[in-house]
Chain A
Amino acid sequence: MIKAENLSFSYEADGAEVKVFENLNIEIEDGEFVAVLGHNGSGKSTFAKHLNAILLPKSGRVTVCGIDTADESRLLELRKNVGMVFQNPDNQIVATVVEEDVAFGLENLGVPRDEMRRRVDEALKTVRMYDYRKHAPHLLSGGQKQRVAIAGILAMEPRCIVLDEPTAMLDPIGRDEVMETIRRLNREKGITIVLITHYMDEAVKAGRCVVMDKGRIVMDDSPANIFPKVEEMRALGLDVPQATELVWELKRRGLDVETGALRSAGAIEAIVKMCGKIK
């Protein structure tokens, strides 16, 4: 699905070359849900922009859905297949009516009107914004706007959606709405998801976590194998879920508790089990 080989990227600032990453290699399979973690400046956002040719590699190669991102003749085909959702919901909505905005990509692709109508309605229903189809976007909440943006991508029937910190500007309700939508798209429609985030509770929901630091991939594994490495994560400037931190802390204090819990239920179970053993 997505394959980056020896990917390098740098930009110039004040006459000096700033390397963002060098010889990055990663492969993502069809239907995966991958979270990319890393502190600000770790290169994760720049990596995301390589997936649909907003940025082109300085050297190396990125292929998505079998299309080389540097192949200009297939640019539209690439972008149709790899949708992108950005952080600020206000700055990616083009139209003044929700359904018109969802149709924007299809209009660009020259999709016939009947087909367009059907796909717009379906996309709006999938993100549960169909009732708002005639509304003005600027009056919606952040979570609703972000779901409209996702619908606009969805209508193009992409095989992969890349989301660059889509919840960073949202409140807890909005974050839940967006995360629930993303997970559903992955589960029910089999769409490959690449989620750039620094919220650990979101990363826990992914099938695979890729941790970036200084332009390198330093960890690449399931959340269950990554988060229990509390000290390593902290050294990278990242959090772990409180559930993971609690059992890790108890273990560190010499208690005989099973570590590795990611969610509340797991931590409760591990602690109850430990107490049971003592009795």
Chain B
Amino acid sequence: MIELKNVTYTYNKNEPSARVALNGVSLTLDDGDFLGLIGHTGSGKSTLTQIVAGLLPPPEGSVSVDGRDYADYKTAARELRKKVGLVFQYPEHQLFEETVYRDIAFGPKNQKLTEDEIDGRVREAARRVNIGGDLLDKSPFDLSGGQKRRVAIAGVVAMKPEVLILDEPTAGLDPEGRDELLSMLEELHGDWCKTVILVSHSMEDIARTVKTAAVMNNGRLVMNGPVEDIFSRGDELRSMGLNTPQISRIVDGLIAAGLPLSRRIFTVGAAADEIEKIVRGGR
């Protein structure tokens, strides 16, 4: 469990170019959470993920890990780096080893695991991201774009982090690649990584993958709760430069036209179920 209390972070502190990226954010990540983090560019979501991953200089406010409060963030950051794996946007741009195998093994090696353990981790991670054993000896630079992305994610997954954060993992993928990646995350969650955070500005991706979500705007955490609650506040989201899935706009329109639908619908399947019920019910 990771708990942020009233965390504020300022870039270029004490300089004319100072910019507050996070402003009094409190957030609790419970074990087993599968959280969507939403916000447009510059809303502070990247800063938040980097603080959770222990990668930034100390912020103001307090951070506790597994119920332990840390007086200074630097000690907490060491704990966080052990616990949290962060997959940056376009992670394929960080590949560097001569073979796929060695690139995936980089993290586990840094964790000082034994050779056998490393081998097990690499193979397991590759399997989970759908990278076949025949690719392990290839150079990562010879793979296709989608494969590179998955190898890079495997590099973090192989460390078996308790908390896995992915920043826009589907950016630039085609619909098929995106679907494959999202179902891969669903399988990782709970089974391999206790907690998963999906950072995205695709509301459709959020709607179909996660149960709870947090919304960032101007460095503040403005919404946090079940996905259906968040998408039922469409006007507020739009005022923050965000969208709602097209389906929830259709549902809103149907409600306005007098259909007795619930506002808490945000997938095509659920909408079809409800409409079918109404029609067949003969109302």
A residues neighboring B (CB under 8 Å): 39-41, 87, 141-142, 165, 168-169, 171-174, 198, 201, 237-239, 241-243, 245-246, 249-250, 253, 255, 264-265, 267-268, 271-272, 274-275, 278
Of the candidates A41, A201, A245, A272, the one whose C-beta lies within 8 Å of that of B254 is A272
DSSP class of A's interface residues: helix, strand, loop or mixed?
A: helix
A40 touches B41 (CB 8 A): no
Contact among B243, B259, B272 for A275, CB-based, below 8 A: B259
Distance, CA A82 to CA B13, complexed state (A): 46
A239 B257 Cβ-Cβ under 8 A: no
The 20 sampled A-B contact pairs (Cβ below 8 Å) are A40-B146, A40-B173, A40-B174, A141-B41, A168-B171, A169-B172, A171-B201, A172-B201, A172-B242, A173-B241, A242-B245, A245-B268, A249-B272, A253-B272, A255-B275, A264-B253, A268-B250, A268-B253, A271-B250, A272-B257
Chain B positions within 8 Å of A, measured between CB atoms, are 40-42, 144-146, 171-177, 201, 204, 241-243, 245-247, 249-250, 253-254, 257, 259, 268-269, 271-272, 275-276, 278-279, 282
Query: Which 5 A/B pairs are nearest by Cβ-Cβ distance?
Result: A237-B176, A268-B253, A242-B246, A39-B174, A249-B272
Bound together, the chains give a CA A40 to CA B147 distance in angstroms of 12
How many inter-chain contacts with C-beta < 8 Å in the A-B complex? Answer: 91
What CA separation (Å) do A249 and B145 show in the bound complex?
A: 33
Q: In the assembly, what is the distance between CA of A63 and CA of B179, in Å?
A: 38
The residue in chain B whose Cβ has the minimal distance to the Cβ of A143 is B41
CB distance from B68 to the nearest CB of A (A): 36
Q: Is the CB of B175 within 8 A of A239?
A: yes
B172 lies within 8 A of A39 (CB): no
Among A39, A243, A268, the residue within 8 A (CB) of B257 is A268
B42, B245, B246, B254 — most chain A CB neighbours (10 Å): B246
Cβ-defined partner of B259 (8 Å) among A169, A242, A249, A272? A272
Q: Known interface pairs A40-B145, A264-B249, A274-B279. Does A172 touch B243 (Cβ–Cβ under 8 Å)?
A: yes
Chain A, Cβ-Cβ closest to B261:
A271
Write the chain A residue with the least CB distance to B41: A171
Given A174-B41, A275-B279, answer yes or no on A264-B250 (Cβ-Cβ < 8 Å).
yes
Measured between alpha carbons, how far is A242 from B247 in the docked complex, in Å? Answer: 6
Is A237 a contact partner of B175 (Cβ separation < 8 A)? yes
Residues in B whose Cβ lies below 8 Å from that of A165: 172
CA distance A239 to B204 in the complex (A): 12
Partner of B204, one of A242, A267, A272, A278: A242
Which residue, of B175, B177, B247, has the highest number of chain A Cβ atoms within 10 A?
B175
Chain A residues contacting B175 (CB-CB under 8 Å) are 39, 198, 237-239
State whether A201 and B282 are in contact (beta carbons under 8 Å apart), knowing that A40-B173, A271-B275 are contacts in the complex.
no
Please give the distance in Å from A14's CB to the nearest CB on chain B.
9
Tell me the nearest residue of chain A to B177, going by C-beta.
A40
Contact of A169 among B171, B204, B246, B276 (CB under 8 A): B171
- CB pair B250–A246 under 8 Å, yes or no, is yes
Give Cα A201 to B247, complex, Å. 13
A271 to B41: give the CA distance in the assembly, Å.
36
Residues of A within 8 A of B174 (CB): 39-40, 198, 237-238
> Which chain B residues lie closer than 8 Å to A265 at the CB level?
253
Across the interface, name the chain A residue whose C-beta is closest to B39. Answer: A171
In the complex, which residues of chain B have a beta carbon less than 8 angstroms from the beta carbon of A198?
Answer: 174-175
Within the complex, the shortest CB–CB distance from A220 to chain B, in Å, comes to 19
A41 vs B147: C-alpha distance when bound (angstroms) = 12
Q: B66 CB to closest chain A CB, in angstroms?
A: 34
Q: Which residue of B lies closest to A201 (CB)?
A: B246
Task: Report A260 CB to chain B, min CB distance, Å.
Answer: 15
Do the beta carbons of B172 and A142 come within 8 Å of each other?
no
A contact residues around B247 at 8 Å (CB): 242, 246
- Chain A residues whose CB sits within 8 angstroms of the CB of B254 once the complex forms: 268, 271-272
